[in-house]
Chain A
Amino acid sequence: MNYPSLGQIAMAAGMMLFMLGLWGIITRKNILRIIISFTLLDAGINIVLVSIGFLRNRTAPIVDQALPATQTLEKAVDPVPQALVLTAIVIGLGITALMLAYALQLYRKTGSLDINKFNSLKW
């Protein structure tokens, strides 16, 4: 029997998280839960990205004594997705912080966090 590789498992898990997050964003009514769903979605994408660069039996692309620069091509995983993920995490953090700031202000103004209450602007 052929077991799925770590990369495939990560990819599947990431995709599931992504879908879960998306589902949460469109079904939850509480703004905080929507924000949490967004972070799930974000984490899912990051896992997918990492899994894209994953290569079996290789180490982290950090050049030090254990991994001389000359051996990176044979021994390290692809560093680009990792760099992407680092950046994406920072951006996700920024966005989450902004969302929370909005949630806080909405709660202060109206005492409610129900997304359905904020539809005075339309048409």
Chain B
Amino acid sequence: MVNPIYIVVALLGSAFLSGLSKQHSSAAASWLAYGALLFSVVVSATWLGAFIFNGIPAAEIFTAGVNPPFSINLRMGLEEAFLTLAINLAGMAGLSYLSRDFSIWGQKATTIFLVLIMSVNVVVMTRDLFNLFVFSEVGSIAMVGLIFTRRDTDGYSAGFKYLIAVSVISALLLLGIGFVYYNTGSLNVDTILSQSSLVNGSLAVALFLVLISLVLELKVFPVNGWALDVYQTVNPGIGSVISGVVGTGSLYVLYKMLPLGGALWYEIVLIVGLVTFVGSNFVAISQKNVNRLLGYSSVAQAGLLMVALGAAPLVGQHFLLIAGGVFLSQFLAKSGLFWLAGMINSADTAGWAVLRQKPVLLVLFGFFVLALAGFPPFPSFFGKWQLVIDLAHNGQFAVIAALLIGSLFEAVYLFRWLGEAIKLPVAEGLTLQTPLSRLWPVLLFGILLPVGGYLFSRLTPGFDGFLMVSVAFALALMLLDYLPAWIKNSLTIAGLLLYASLVYPLIEGDLIRVVFAVIFVGGGLLTLIAGYSVKGKRMGFFPFAILMYAGLIGLIEAQNLLQFLFAWELMTLGSYILIIRGKKSMLHALNYMLFSLGGAYMIMMGISLSVFGTQGLDLALMGTSYWPVWSVALLALGFLTKTAALGLHIWLPGAHAEAESDVSPMVSGILLKAGAFGLVLLFLAIGGEANSQQPLLYALGWLGALTALGGNLMAAFQEDAKKLLAYSSVANLGYILFAFAFMTHIGWIAGFTYSINHFLFKTLLFLAIGGVVLRTGTHNMYEMGGLIKRVPWSFITVLIGIITLAGIPPLSGFSGKWLFYHAVIAKGWYFQGTMVFFAGTIAFLYCFKLIYSIFLGQEKDHLRKVKEVPVWYIVPQVLLVLAIMVFSYRPDLILVPLGHTLAAANYFPTDPITWNGLTASTTAGYWNASQIMMVIGVMFVILLGWLLFMSRKAQKVKQFNIVFAAERPFRPETTHYSYNMFRHYHRAVGFLVAPVATRFWNGVDAVMHDVAHSAKKIYSGNGQTYIVHLLAYVVIIYLLMF
């Protein structure tokens, strides 16, 4: 093994040489610099390899031929090897990235840069306090020297503020070190640690000075204005060094020194970190300047890592997993983001749309954002998960709640930014600067993210590496994105089937899971078939479609809470990208993401409450805790965010309506069932029929009923066909919630029937309407009309769809209704039941509107040439119609075995339905689906025949063989019968559909932005004020401690 002291030698030596070299030999000098950095990378990497694979113990490196404490010693352990590798790699990539700037600034810059990297290496490895001070000062001087390269007033003033602040902080550090020596007679960290039992008043103050200055060097919120100004002004290449390299060094020093302070200091660091994480993310919400935003975000991530540090005594052996996962994500992602910022050169986040010129970079930008937000498959997901679980085991729920709130703030600006890059028009005059010297660092760090994610997933207890296969498949599809769409579509279908066939043996016999699996996989197949109609490449679609479906199947497959959450987040991620692909979907997708994340964090909080006092992660733990009401409520609300219960529904209509034609059925007919599946798992976990949560379930029942009513009312007043269907989905998920909340056998049978029905008819309707929208180019029903002759197939399928939706016999919607009424009678929820019944009659209104205004009435001039929808849309519709027919004719095929499953002892043993052949009966009545179907089928044929017979002599008239009696239409569209069709109802009950929820959430949004904007004002820009902040902070922490 190479002695790590040679890292210092190589870097310092090449720095000297490059400083001495003449301008004409600058090429040689820069190769020398690369060589030294490469050497350092290799040395760190070999040590890391030896620690991981050979398990060697940490090595102590002595200098000056004397043993410590009389000399300075360095340590090379697992942590040091990992961090120096990261630092040197970032140094090498950063040098390449900055090489163009350095060639302008001159050879000096390279020298300073190498000194900086060297100093951080020493800071990480040293075990001597004073040595630490010296090299952190060397690092600061080098840093300020690099800031000096921006030659304008902003750069100089930011640099000066930084310099003053850093000097005051290190003055405190030096003073502290002096008194530590005074009290212990040593500067060696290990020697001082061995005396830590002797901590008395004076040593405690000395250690306070040391530790508080280390904390301040991490630029904690809100005393970090001096650092933010620098982030805003410097070249982003240098910003990445401050955030990635210097920040890493400072964090590690705190980690190294924290044991000196004892238990109290861990708490202080935890609280300081938490305040930093939440506060910094909060003020970032209203920030639009990219570099400053990156600064806020860097500070916030450092805060998160401080939380992990402070929690070290609580998390025990998981510390390296937690801190490592969070560190690696933020290190790679933040460096990458700074580098991208330098390539784009736009002060505003909106300028990032230019990334679309190089799709690879857009994808990597997505990686970085997702890694920061803690999405799988990136390392931070596993780190954050384990942190939350370990905190939960220790009952630290306030900390968890604060972490989750901070994460949500973070998501607001991260996903707004990502959305802008994906959707906004490219600004004039902006071009991407992507020379190879800047490209490879971004590519390397981007690729390392999923690799790191895989490694950390292997370390996380309870994770099954098999789940990563689907992620790998999606990544592979991303690489194949240059292929034509039909090939990728076939690959996606093959992947979906393969995954489903691998998962099926695991869930065979568990009928509840099988039903949902059929919905997810079957729905996936049908909607992907429709995708064959798309010509061209359809880039960026299939990898995310497979991620969404893999997430959905993963939910079914999940063996424990970690796997469940992993799948949940994959599904959210995939569907977010699918949704944002719609033309006007930028804001809708952001809403969707924020509500989904809010829901996911509520689920996370519910999980935390559930696992307290246990060691396991079993799914059956959901909602069973010391605080069952809270955990059940949080989990249920989390799942209801996905099903869009009333009040949490505002993201849905836009997201579903503006999505592409084949995406709408995916996200509406299929994806919403994920929330329903979550509810099913939760309700079974709390004991099925024997649960003790009746008051909460009663409230959820009401919520379901109100959602059904509200959703249907809003649907009836839509002019946009897809919005109508979307609101109708809100309502239908309300029915499903209502039915499951009964927590009775028959209620659940009804709930499953509704789930299956909604999947069948909503997928069918969205496919049919989506196909029509493809042909007509509009969603507005009043702009359509008379299309029955143009798209007869769609007419028939829509007809069957709405008959099912409206619950009209003989189709399966009626089965649901029949079961539902019996469930209501058995449970005695008459008032809510009546409300849901009333909601059903409103469904008639919009069903009628849907079919009438699109297919009947007057044909429009511009739609006379409309062709039948693509055959790839018809095929899945026909299959769905067949499925509806089968389910309508023989519902017993599913419901009888499902009844047996649900009758299990710990589910719903009281089974009031008796099946006699095809006849189901309860004490309230009986029903035979097949008979009804036959009777009505015969009636239909007779009536149709009669109608045809009677109208055999009917005279055909041309469309305009009428007059508009006494009408003066302004626009032809507004004469359409369907325009403002239910205006008379609107006058009567319009107040019920006033956008209360939308107004509420808009209010939340406005207040957040305003408060965040005011909070930012503490960064006055005055260097002295920043120093006063620093000192005041020190005093406050001191007063808190002593």
Within 8 A of B (CB), among A99-123: 99, 101-103, 105-106, 109-110, 115-116, 118-123
Measured between beta carbons, the chain B residues less than 8 angstroms from A88 are: 174
A72 to chain B, nearest CB (A): 13
Contact A42/B171 with A26-B1028, A87-B130, A121-B232 known, Cβ cut-off 8 Å: yes
Q: Does A77 contact B (CB under 8 A)?
A: no
Measured between beta carbons, the chain B residues less than 8 angstroms from A115 are: 1022-1024
Most buried by B among A41, A87, A102, A115: A102
Cross-chain contact A109 with B148 (CB below 8 angstroms): no
Measured between beta carbons, the chain A residues less than 8 angstroms from B225 are: 122
Measured between beta carbons, the chain B residues less than 8 angstroms from A36 are: none
Q: Does B159 contact A (CB under 8 A)?
A: yes
> In the assembly, what is the distance between CA of A27 and CA of B1031, in Å?
13
From the candidates B233, B292, B1021, B1027, name the one contacting A119 in the complex (CB within 8 A).
B1021
Identity of the chain B residue whose Cβ is nearest the Cβ of A119 in the assembled complex? B1021
Q: Mark B500-537, 1 if CB is under 8 A from A, else 0.
A: 00000000000000000000000000000000000000
Q: Mark B174-191, 1 if CB is under 8 A from A, else 0.
A: 110111011000010000
Within 8 A of A (CB), among B270-299: 287, 292
Cross-chain contact A102 with B159 (CB below 8 angstroms): yes
Interface size class of B (residues with CB under 8 A): 35 or more
Q: Mark A77-90, 1 if CB is under 8 A from B, else 0.
A: 00011001001100
Measured between beta carbons, the chain B residues less than 8 angstroms from A34 are: 164, 1024
Measured between beta carbons, the chain B residues less than 8 angstroms from A98 are: 141, 144-145, 148, 163
> In the assembly, what is the distance between CA of A9 and CA of B156, in Å?
40
Cross-chain contact B160 with A95 (CB below 8 angstroms): no
> In the assembly, what is the distance between CA of A101 and CA of B174, in Å?
24
> In the assembly, what is the distance between CA of A81 and CA of B1031, in Å?
26
Identity of the chain B residue whose Cβ is nearest the Cβ of A83 in the assembled complex? B130
From the candidates A26, A41, A42, A122, name the one contacting B1020 in the complex (CB within 8 A).
A122
Q: Does B996 contact A (CB under 8 A)?
A: no
Q: Mark B102-140, 1 if CB is under 8 A from A, else 0.
A: 000000000000000000000000000010001001101
Identity of the chain A residue whose Cβ is nearest the Cβ of B183 in the assembled complex? A52
From the candidates B177, B1013, B1017, B1021, name the one contacting A121 in the complex (CB within 8 A).
B1021
> In the assembly, what is the distance between CA of A10 and CA of B158, in Å?
36
Contact A106/B153 with A41-B171, A52-B181 known, Cβ cut-off 8 Å: yes
Q: Does B1002 contact A (CB under 8 A)?
A: no
B974 to chain A, nearest CB (A): 49
Cross-chain contact B160 with A122 (CB below 8 angstroms): no
Cross-chain contact B148 with A101 (CB below 8 angstroms): yes
Measured between beta carbons, the chain A residues less than 8 angstroms from B164 are: 25, 34, 38, 99
Cross-chain contact B1021 with A122 (CB below 8 angstroms): yes
Measured between beta carbons, the chain B residues less than 8 angstroms from A106 are: 153, 156-157, 160
Cross-chain contact B159 with A18 (CB below 8 angstroms): no
B interface, by DSSP: helix, strand, loop or mixed?
helix
Measured between beta carbons, the chain B residues less than 8 angstroms from A27 are: 1024
Q: Does A20 contact B (CB under 8 A)?
A: no
Cross-chain contact B130 with A84 (CB below 8 angstroms): yes
Cross-chain contact A109 with B153 (CB below 8 angstroms): yes
A70 to chain B, nearest CB (A): 17
Measured between beta carbons, the chain B residues less than 8 angstroms from A110 are: 153
Q: Does A76 contact B (CB under 8 A)?
A: no
Measured between beta carbons, the chain B residues less than 8 angstroms from A45 are: 171, 174-175, 178
Q: Does A62 contact B (CB under 8 A)?
A: no
Q: Does B557 contact A (CB under 8 A)?
A: no
Measured between beta carbons, the chain B residues less than 8 angstroms from A38 are: 164, 167
Identity of the chain B residue whose Cβ is nearest the Cβ of A109 in the assembled complex? B153
Identity of the chain A residue whose Cβ is nearest the Cβ of B287 in the assembled complex? A123
Contact A116/B130 with A22-B1031, A98-B145, A102-B159 known, Cβ cut-off 8 Å: no
A25 to chain B, nearest CB (A): 6
> In the assembly, what is the distance between CA of A2 and CA of B61, in Å?
48
Cross-chain contact B1023 with A118 (CB below 8 angstroms): yes
B residues neighboring A (CB under 8 Å): 130, 134, 137-138, 140-141, 144-145, 148, 151-154, 156-161, 163-164, 167-168, 171, 174-175, 177-179, 181-182, 187, 225, 229, 232-233, 287, 292, 1013, 1016-1017, 1019-1024, 1027-1028, 1031
A residues neighboring B (CB under 8 Å): 18, 22, 25-27, 29, 31, 34, 38, 41-42, 45, 48-49, 52, 80-81, 84, 87-88, 91, 94-95, 98-99, 101-103, 105-106, 109-110, 115-116, 118-123
8 additional A-B pairs beyond A84-B177, A121-B157, A123-B1016, beta carbons within 8 Å, are A45-B175, A49-B174, A87-B134, A102-B160, A106-B160, A115-B1022, A115-B1023, A118-B161
**3 A-B pairs with least C-beta separation:** A119-B1021, A122-B1021, A118-B157
21 A-B pairs in the complex with CB atoms less than 8 angstroms apart: A22-B168, A38-B164, A42-B171, A45-B178, A49-B178, A81-B181, A87-B130, A88-B174, A91-B141, A98-B144, A98-B163, A101-B148, A102-B160, A115-B1024, A118-B157, A119-B157, A119-B1023, A120-B157, A121-B1021, A123-B1016, A123-B1021
